[in-house]
Amino acid sequence: MKKYYYPVFIFLTGVFAAQVCFSILVYFSNQSLYQTLQLLRDAGYLIVPNAHVMPGLQKWMPALCGGLFFSMTIGAGLSLITLLTAVLWLRYFQRFRASLIFLVAGTLFFFAFQFNFAPGLTLSCVIPAGIVFYVSVRCFSYAGLPFPLLRVGAVHLASIAAIAAVWAPVADEDIFVAIRDNLLLTHPVGRSINDFYYKYTLYPAETFKSLNQKLLKSCHITDADSAVSPALIRLLVKEDYLPVKEKSGVDLIVHHNDGRLTFQQENKVIDTCRFAEFQKDPEEILAAISQKTDDTAFLRRITFLSLIGASPLLCYLLLHVAVMTGIFFIPSPAARFAAAAVLCVAVFSLPAVLFSHQKPEDIDKKDIVRFLASDHSRDRVLALKAISEQDLTISHYGDPEKLVQGSLTREQTVERYWLAKSLAGDRSQASYDLILRLLDDPQPNVACMAFYSLGQQSRFRNSNRTKNEILRRITSRDHWYVQWYAYKALKRLGWTQTPPRE
């Protein structure tokens, strides 16, 4: 019977190994971010994350929680690929001992090449893969190939295919939002998972961001032409490349001499251009520099592929083992295995039914009032989505104040979230005041959407009051994700950092 547990045991081994490796990687990424933020704070810039979050970058807990994101995605993906590789090697190449040397060397070179030979990134992928390969070979050698591996794989494959077929009609670009709205934010356990994700997700995200994807970047300027220096600083600051006096440890070094700019990281020259060219399109040139220094593009790709492929498979295997253990009263191992697979298909397919409803873009404008007045939360949320996606003015269809009060009374987080987002297209003073209230909503997702909506209202580009409201909350809120949205709103309203005076 225990042979049926080998696949999930191998997966969990890979997940645990990835948890250890990527937690260490996230920890050192946090240390690097801490040093950058310290440089910027000492230079007088506004920093995100702020002083409330910044001390956590030096602790292990955020790194461990951030590593969980990678272990559940890349860890699962590496485990799947390595398990299949181990089976093929045992079946076809085991008698050729030299093949193992080529396999190990090829894997090491592949990851090293993809990560531009960055040792931390390379080892974080190679070590879990090596451990999974070793455990797979030991397990399958002990069980004897073929043990019921073909039947086990066939049943799992058929179950996953059935689940995929149920989900296919509702799977689109908004599927993750739908899962959050319908499965996570509707009950206490789901809200706890959602809050955990949004509290810690930016720590691992910083690990694989390119230079341009980072919110704030430190830079050092050496300028032989003092007349050009202020213009160069303004251009860099507008793109959030913030000049500091220190040269060591900055994200980018910019040399200006005789009308020519040279961009470096440490002692490595990345790119050069004329200052006149940089003035015309600094965003494009900095994007090119970011691309040339991007060591983590492959990590982002495999993380996303693992998220949509391997992570659901891992959840399925964990549930399958739990169910198979729970139905111990079925005497036949094969029957118990098959019954657990059927139950897993039912459990994973059921949520798809929640998503089988009318699309927001299909709602006619004249029906929005009726949907907003409905007694069913799903109808009200659908109307709010329609207002947001069709760029309508919410106050034409109902009183936003009553909607938010109703959602607070019913503890409907999803309603407040979409209400906050639907206010982006409303230019009334009442809606503006409501947005300011929602900025302080205790639920981070709602506050984030309120900042988003405020940033969309271009009529406040010259409003010092609006910018001050956002600035006050950036420095006072203790949630990194909320601060991130607030900073983006500031930028959309035309605000830029103030360069320090010499």
Q: Which helix H or strand E contains 433, and what residues bound it?
A: helix 429-438
Tens-place pLDDT, residues 386-414: 888 888 888 888 777 777 777 665 568 88
CA-to-CA distance for 71 and 203, rounded, in angstroms?
Answer: 14
Residue 474: predicted pLDDT: 95
Q: Is pLDDT of 498 > 80?
A: yes
pLDDT band at 140 (very low <50, low <70, confident <90, very high): confident
**Cβ atoms of residues 434 and 400 within 8 Å:** yes
**Cβ atoms of residues 298 and 114 within 8 Å:** yes
Task: Compute the C-alpha angle 214/215/217, nearest 5°.
Answer: 70
**Cβ atoms of residues 278 and 261 within 8 Å:** yes
Structure-token pair, residue 442? 């205790």
Report the mean per-residue pLDDT for the chain: 88
CA-to-CA distance for 480 and 39, rounded, in angstroms?
Answer: 19
Residue 335: predicted pLDDT: 87
**Cβ atoms of residues 261 and 268 within 8 Å:** no
**Cβ atoms of residues 431 and 400 within 8 Å:** yes
Mapped onto helix, strand or coil, the DSSP state of residue 208 is coil
Residue 328: predicted pLDDT: 78
Structure-token pair, residue 206? 């910083």
* Residue % of the chain over a pLDDT of 70: 93
CA torsion angle 411 414 417 418 (round to 10) = -130
Tens-place pLDDT, residues 282-307: 999 999 999 999 999 999 999 999 99
Q: Provide mean pLDDT across the span 98-118.
A: 92
Tens-place pLDDT, residues 438-483: 999 999 999 999 999 999 887 777 788 889 999 999 999 999 999 9
Tens-place pLDDT, residues 322-378: 998 888 788 888 888 889 999 999 999 888 876 665 566 667 777 888 888 888 888
**Cβ atoms of residues 28 and 118 within 8 Å:** no
